[in-house]
Chains A and B, each alone.
Chain A
Amino acid sequence: MIKNVSVIGAGTMGNGIAHVFAQHHFNVTLIDISENQLQKAITNISKNIDRQIAKELLNEDQKAAILQRIQTHTDIRKA
């Protein structure tokens, strides 16, 4: 069983893929060469979870757990 996934590239697709994996209880390493892009991705994921919370698909506890399952890295060799 796969438990850990790495997502390379934290753009539009990458942040969504990291979000969905983390929501389904995978440990995610999100990798991008830009720290700024990684921060933006986390902010975006957080906003998108808020939207799911507004629709009552998730709650605040789940949000914290999802965000906790996502680590970020700028160096693919160290990730």
Chain B
Amino acid sequence: MNPVPVMKLVEVINGYATSNYVTGTITELSKQLGKTPALANDYPGFVANRILMPMINEAIYTLHEGVAGVEAIDTIMKLGMAHPMGPLQLADFIGLDVCLSIMQVLYNGFGHPKYAPCPLLVNMVASKKLGIKTGEGFYTYLPGSKDLVVSDKFRK
């Protein structure tokens, strides 16, 4: 998981034809690096992205449909679910282009409408508002400042 030196998890992916020997070797190797391995079979999004990305996509839908604002959504998920970061802040951190591309992998891989990327996410990527790396996503990022400022686009 990213950032690699910091995160403790290695999501070990078992392909359809992967032998137990290979899976065992990788599991052992991960432990040697001080990481905790967890096993998943090779299907779109594995486990981490299959669960995380629809949550982020749903947060974007929640914003898009006017259910709540950026700050409210992130505060509710942070304090209510004890997540270290709200889903919209996390999306900015991952990069909205990466989020969109993962949703497309899930949508194409399963063919189920529940994975359809939120049109707001598609629009933001098309407008190059990709999060931290472009200086603006759901929040605005100024060089040298660590304050979380909601982007003008989402302020009432």
Contacts and interface: CB of A to CB of B under 8 A. Distances in A.
Q: Do A and B form a real pair? A: yes
Interface of A: 2, 12-13, 15-17, 19-21, 23-24, 48, 52
Given A13-B2, A20-B33, 20 more contacts: A12-B2, A13-B4, A15-B4, A16-B2, A16-B3, A16-B4, A17-B4, A19-B4, A19-B5, A20-B4, A20-B5, A20-B35, A21-B33, A23-B5, A24-B32, A24-B33, A24-B34, A48-B3, A48-B5, A52-B5
Interface of B: 2-5, 25, 29, 32-35
User: For the complex, would chain B's binding face be called helix, strand, loop or mixed by DSSP majority?
Assistant: loop
25 contacts: A2-B25, A2-B29, A12-B2, A13-B2, A13-B4, A15-B4, A16-B2, A16-B3, A16-B4, A16-B5, A17-B4, A19-B4, A19-B5, A20-B4, A20-B5, A20-B33, A20-B35, A21-B33, A23-B5, A24-B32, A24-B33, A24-B34, A48-B3, A48-B5, A52-B5
